[in-house]
């Protein structure tokens, strides 16, 4: 596993680093998601980018573990959003089946943003205009077989 720390981006008063890692198994991606999840505060919005099978759901499964959520996380492809209660609740979105950003109003997107949980969003490409400015971006990319490259923003 490689770790590179890229140059610091200053966005408002918060410094953001980009961390790039390579995982070689689903378990490793889950473990990285868990470490990442532990760094999140209530109100955090995490935009996940990457194609089918890139590991977005696996990463979110770990992220939930990092929030101490015990319920098993499954893909919300057909329901658009699944809610997991916890000290910091998780709202797990999958925008794959969303036809337009307008449908976000129907599912109560803006209410979720106000609810002091963590919003983790799969297929963020489909709703790029919907994210608040302090959204944390995570890009996942398959490099074949069991290899995945994950580039995530981390607050420093
Ligand atoms: N390094 C890896 N990280 C994550 N998933 C992996 C990895 N290697 C193989 N896989 C497999 O890729 C698939 C990822 O699925 P999933 O997390 O549902 O992707 P997505 O939500 O991006 O469509 C799973 O079948 C998993 O077993
Ligand atoms: Mg998925």
CATH of the domain at 49: 3.40.50.300
User: Is 38 inside a domain boundary?
Assistant: yes
User: Is 33 inside a domain boundary?
Assistant: yes
Q: What are phi and psi of 91, to 5 degrees?
A: -115, 110
What is the C-alpha to C-alpha distance for residues 94 and 77, in angstroms, rounded to an integer? 5
Which residues have CB under 8 Å from 36's CB, separation 6+? 59, 62, 63, 66, 138, 152, 154
Q: Is 61 in the pocket of ligand 1 (CB under 6 A)?
A: no
Residue of the CA atom closest to atom 18 of ligand 1? 57
Which residues have CB under 8 Å from 99's CB, separation 6+? none
CA-122 nearest atom, ligand 1? 21
Residue of the CA atom closest to atom 24 of ligand 1? 53
Higher pLDDT, 96 or 5: 96
Q: 12 C-alpha to center of ligand 1: Å?
A: 34
User: Is 93 inside a domain boundary?
Assistant: yes
User: Is 3 inside a domain boundary?
Assistant: no
Tell me how many domains the chain contains.
Answer: 1
User: How would you class 145 by CB atoms within 10 Å of its CB: exposed for 0-12, middle for 13-18, buried for 19 or more?
Assistant: exposed
pLDDT digits over 70-94, tens only? 999 999 988 899 999 999 999 999 9
For residue 49, give the H/E element and its range: strand 45-49
User: Is 126 inside a domain boundary?
Assistant: yes
Average pLDDT value for residue range 144-155: 92
Protein residues placing their CB within 5 Å of the ion ligand 2: 56-57, 75, 122
User: Is 130 inside a domain boundary?
Assistant: yes
Angle between helices 26-38 and 56-66 (to 10 degrees): 40
User: Is 112 inside a domain boundary?
Assistant: yes
Tokens encoding 93: 């979105």
Task: Give the pLDDT score at 77.
Answer: 83
Prediction pTM value: 0.92
Residue 107 structural domain = 25-139
pLDDT digits over 110-147, tens only? 999 999 999 999 999 999 999 999 999 999 999 999 99
What is the C-alpha to C-alpha distance for residues 21 and 130, in angstroms, rounded to an integer? 27
% of the chain beyond a pLDDT of 70? 89
The secondary structure of 80-131, three-state, reads CEEEECCCCCEEEEECCCCCCCCHHHHCCHHHHHHCCCEEEEECHHHHHHHC
What is the C-alpha to C-alpha distance for residues 60 and 54, in angstroms, rounded to an integer? 12
User: Is 102 inside a domain boundary?
Assistant: yes
pLDDT band for 36, please (50, 70, 90 cuts). very high
Q: Is 53 in the pocket of ligand 1 (CB under 6 A)?
A: yes
Task: Give the pLDDT score at 78.
Answer: 85
């Amino acid at each position: 596993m490689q770790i590179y720390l890229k140059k610091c981006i200053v966005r408002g008063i918060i410094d953001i680093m980009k961390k790039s890692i390579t995982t070689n198994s689903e378990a490793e991606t889950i473990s990285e998601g868990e470490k990442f999840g532990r760094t999140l505060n209530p109100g955090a919005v995490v935009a996940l980018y990457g194609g089918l099978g890139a590991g977005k759901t696996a990463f979110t499964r770990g992220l939930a573990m990092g929030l101490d959520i015990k319920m098993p996380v499954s893909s919300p492809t057909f329901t658009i959003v699944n809610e997991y209660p916890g000290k910091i609740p998780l709202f797990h979105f999958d925008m794959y089946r969303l036809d337009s950003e307008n449908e976000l109003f129907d599912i109560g997107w803006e209410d979720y943003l106000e609810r002091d949980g963590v919003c983790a969003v799969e297929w963020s490409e489909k709703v790029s205009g919907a994210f608040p400015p302090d959204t944390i971006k995570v890009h996942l990319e398959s490099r074949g077989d069991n290899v995945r490259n994950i580039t995530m923003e981390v607050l420093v």
